[in-house]
Structure 1
Amino acid sequence: MTRLTDHLIVISFDCLSALDFSMLEELPNFQELLYKGSYCKHVETIYPSVTYPCHATIVTGKYPNHHGVINNTFLQPGNPSPDWYWHRFHIKGTTLYDEAKKAGMKTAALLWPVTAKANIDYNMPEIFANRPWLNQIAVSLANGSVFYQIDMNNRFGHIRKGISQPELDDFVLESAVHTIETKKPNLMLVHFTDLDTQRHYHGFSSEEAQAALKRHDIRLGRILHALKDAGIYENSTIVALGDHSALDESKAVKVNVLLKEQGLINVNEKGKVTDWKAYCKSCDGSAYIYLHNPNDKETKSRVGELLQRLQEDEHNGIEFVLTGDEAGKRGADEKAAFMIEARRGFYFHERLEGEFIDSITKEDVEERRYTVASHGYSPKKANYETVLIASGKGIREKVNIPSMHLVDEGPTFAKLLGLDLGDTDGRIIKEMFDV
């Protein structure tokens, strides 16, 4: 296949929304991309619209139920900190970085989700030390490129303060700049989460979120400058994109409280789940309802009736209820018995104690019990789209793509590098190519 660029730099600004576009137009480095490139300010995301499924979709061109990453975290009933879909082996089929590696290209990924133990030349995966006895640096080293990560930590580790923002993104930035200047990768995937963090804990339109957008513009500028310093800017394509938007919320809906009251979840005196028949697995703005025994028709009927009753009263926060088959048709996990969508102002939480619905207080947010904005909602919700801006080699100037879907990004990026992702759910956005 014809290759349109020598270097593809994909920068994911987590939680970048279509509603941010007017601000991006005023920021100097985003302006530079927009002036020279193609863009779409109406990118429909996937369902559920959470980070790990979104990033797996970006590199595969497939919906969650086709690539296998159907949520951020695993179904682990009662676990207050469930494990995430960190590892490459959770993705079914090939990825953009797999195909680039097969083609002999040099690859790099910095905190890109679902890349632990991936075959990437310079890999700093996003993975947490999710057990008290684990060390963060040791976990990262075991799941990525050992010597590369040691080098980055030796050079820039002093910047980071655990996973606190904006320091984490500042560390990622310095690592990205150094990698561009010294390694000149053909494919680089970079994931920044500053904006997402600020929106979760301060609100969608908060001053903190606006400040994060300005920091992201500075980060983008540093990356553009690094490409120029490395002498590869003219032969590079730069893509800035978001994975999902976010919505403010003031109430947390805890369906598991009701399932426990119905005797469908049992806990011991310490509050630990001992057995369960049905469980609500949160995706924040949406949630899966799983059955321990998928063939348990009695429990499925009971849960279905409960959800329908709850939906009838808007104060319960449930906008609609899908069957597993209906969820599958939207790209979500068809193995769930049901999937529920939260109304605006609500989101789902897995907690088992307390009231069915909690009003979120300032103290809740400070203690990290709840957030005040989240994602995971249906991509069909109004004003919930994300954006994509592409500029550089192989990209036409000043082209406005009216609309596209997150599944279109993978095959489009593959085409830029002369690669093929095979059978995808998306299409190649040829309108942006300068051929």
Structure 2
Amino acid sequence: MDRLTDHLIVISFDCLSSLDFPMLQELPHFAELLQNGSYCKNVESIYPSVTYPCHATIVTGNFPNRHGVVNNTYLQPGRPSPDWHWHRRHIKGTTLYDEAKKAGMTTGALLWPVTAKAEMDYNMPEIFANRPWHHQIPVSLFNGSVNYQLEMNRRFGHIRKGLSQPSLDDFVLESTVHTIQTRKPQLLLVHFTDLDTNRHYHGFSSDEAMDALRRHDARLGRIVKALKESGIYDQSTIVALGDHSALDESIAIQPNIYFKEQGLITVNNRGKVTNWKAYCHSCDGSAYIYIRDNNDHDTKQKVQQWLQELSQDESSGVEQVLTGEEAGARGADAHCDFMLEARRGYYFKEALNGGFLHRITAEDVKAKRYTWGSHGYSPEKENYCTFFAAAGKGIVPNQAIPSMRLVDEGPTFARLLGLHLGNTDGAAVEGLLTL
């Protein structure tokens, strides 16, 4: 299969929404990308529409029930900070960067989710120091390209202030620019989270979120400039995409409190979960319900009856209840017993204390116990699409694609690089490619 481009730069602006399109048209660097290339302002995300499943979908072309990353975090009942699906081993099957590496291409990724321990030339994975005795820098070094990360930290580490934004994305930007200038990778995956963070803690249309969009425009401009200064711009394809949208919320639904009251979750006097029969694993706008023992029909029946009552009560915040089979048919985890969808204005938390419904306060958000904006909702929610734009070598100019899906992006990237991801759930969007 012929390659359509020599260098593919994929930039994920986490939480970029189709509703941002009018503003993107007014921002200079996004506007230039739209004018020079093809775009789609109606990209259907996946279920659940959270960051790690989304990014695994982007590089595999498959839904979560096939690639295996069905949520951001592990099912670890009661743990205050559960582990995330940080590692490449969590993805079943091949990925875009695996196939590029096999084909002898130079590959790199900066804070791209689910890439810890991945085989890449220049890898700075997104992974947190999630234990009191861990330190962020050695955890990152151990799970990525050691010398490369040491160099980026030596050059630009002074910019970063832990995981806080916008400093983290500014650090990623400088590392990206330097990587393009000095390494000229043939595939580079970059993940920025400034917008997502601000939508969580300030709301979808907040001034803080709009400021993050403007910063993203400047970051896009810097990356394009680096490609030009490196002499590879004309041989490159640049992609700007979102993984999901977001919705404002003000009430948290906390099913585990009910399970605890019913004796289905047991905690000790320190509040630690010692046993559980049923557990709500949050995906923010949606949630999985797991019954621990498949043969515990009494618990399953009891939970099912309660969930049916919730779905019939609009004030519960639960819009829909799916069976595990129905969740699997939508691409989510078929191994769950139930999947819940929140109404607009609501989202799910795994809290074990408080009330079933918690009205969020400014103090809650300031303490980062709760948020004002969430994702994870069904991609069928109205006005909940994300965005895709591409320009450069291999891309048809001035083409508006009416609709596409997140699962189509991986196969499209593979086609650009002359690669194949196998039998995928998505298909290459040939309307934007110069085949």
Both proteins in one fold, TM over 0.5: yes
3-state SS of paired residue (2:340): strand
2:387 is aligned with what amino acid? V
Determine the C-alpha separation between the residues in 2 that align with 1:294 and 1:75. 16
Determine the C-alpha separation between the residues in 2 that align with 1:314 and 1:271. 31
Determine the C-alpha separation between the residues in 1 that align with 2:280 and 2:241. 31
Q: Describe how 1:262-341 pairs up with structure 2 within 5 A.
A: 262-341=262-341
3-state SS of paired residue (1:298): helix
Q: Which residue of 2 aligns with 1:194?
A: 194
1:342 is aligned with what amino acid? A
Matched, 1:109 2:109: yes
2:427 is aligned with what amino acid? R
Deviations, residues 27-60 of structure 1 (Å, cap 9, x unaligned): 0000111011000000000000000000000000
Indicate if the aligned counterparts of 1:255 and 1:356 stay in contact, CA closer than 8 A.
Answer: yes
* Shift >2 Å, 4+ stretches: none
Shift of residue 313, structure 1, vs aligned partner: 1.2
Q: Which residue of 2 aligns with 1:17?
A: 17
Determine the C-alpha separation between the residues in 1 that align with 2:355 and 2:33. 48
Deviations, residues 187-246 of structure 1 (Å, cap 9, x unaligned): 000000000000000000000000000000000000000000100000000000000000
Q: Which residue of 2 aligns with 1:204?
A: 204
2:143 is aligned with what amino acid? N
Q: Describe how 1:173-252 pairs up with structure 2 within 5 A.
A: 173-252=173-252
Determine the C-alpha separation between the residues in 2 that align with 1:406 and 1:384. 13
3-state SS of paired residue (1:25): helix
Q: Is the deviation greater in 310-319 or in 88-97?
A: 310-319
Determine the C-alpha separation between the residues in 2 that align with 1:231 and 1:76. 48
Instruction: Give TM-score scaled by structure 1 length.
Output: 1.00
Q: Describe how 1:73-222 pairs up with structure 2 within 5 A.
A: 73-222=73-222
Determine the C-alpha separation between the residues in 1 that align with 2:433 and 2:191. 24
Q: Which residue of 2 aligns with 1:429?
A: 429
Deviations, residues 113-138 of structure 1 (Å, cap 9, x unaligned): 00000001000000000000001000
Determine the C-alpha separation between the residues in 2 that align with 1:64 and 1:234. 35
Shift of residue 296, structure 1, vs aligned partner: 1.7
Determine the C-alpha separation between the residues in 2 that align with 1:115 and 1:333. 21
Deviations, residues 51-103 of structure 1 (Å, cap 9, x unaligned): 00000000000000100000000000000100000000000000000000000
3-state SS of paired residue (2:128): coil
Determine the C-alpha separation between the residues in 2 that align with 1:310 and 1:433. 47
Shift of residue 312, structure 1, vs aligned partner: 1.4
1:325 is aligned with what amino acid? E
1:310 is aligned with what amino acid? L
3-state SS of paired residue (1:227): helix
Shift of residue 107, structure 1, vs aligned partner: 0.2
Shift of residue 25, structure 1, vs aligned partner: 0.4
1:239 is aligned with what amino acid? V
Determine the C-alpha separation between the residues in 2 that align with 1:359 and 1:41. 33
Shift of residue 311, structure 1, vs aligned partner: 1.4
3-state SS of paired residue (1:418): coil
3-state SS of paired residue (1:248): strand
2:82 is aligned with what amino acid? P
3-state SS of paired residue (1:234): helix
Q: Which residue of 2 aligns with 1:394?
A: 394
3-state SS of paired residue (1:347): strand
Q: Is the deviation greater in 231-240 or in 311-320?
A: 311-320
Instruction: Give TM-score scaled by structure 2 length.
Output: 1.00
Determine the C-alpha separation between the residues in 1 that align with 2:264 and 2:109. 42
Structure 1: any 5+ residue segments left out of the alignment? none
Determine the C-alpha separation between the residues in 2 that align with 1:29 and 1:6. 22
Percent same amino acid at aligned positions?
71
Determine the C-alpha separation between the residues in 2 that align with 1:277 and 1:327. 20
Deviations, residues 153-173 of structure 1 (Å, cap 9, x unaligned): 000000000000000000000
Deviations, residues 327-371 of structure 1 (Å, cap 9, x unaligned): 000000010000000000000000011111110000000000100
Q: Which residue of 2 aligns with 1:57?
A: 57
2:304 is aligned with what amino acid? G
Q: Which residue of 2 aligns with 1:6?
A: 6
Question: RMSD of the alignment, in Å?
Answer: 0.4
Determine the C-alpha separation between the residues in 1 that align with 2:233 and 2:320. 48
2:133 is aligned with what amino acid? W
Determine the C-alpha separation between the residues in 2 that align with 1:295 and 1:191. 42
Determine the C-alpha separation between the residues in 1 that align with 2:295 and 2:81. 28
Indicate if the aligned counterparts of 1:294 and 1:337 stay in contact, CA closer than 8 A.
Answer: no
Report the number of matched residues.
435
Shift of residue 382, structure 1, vs aligned partner: 0.2
Q: Which residue of 2 aligns with 1:372?
A: 372
Determine the C-alpha separation between the residues in 1 that align with 2:331 and 2:294. 19
Structure 2: any 5+ residue segments left out of the alignment? none
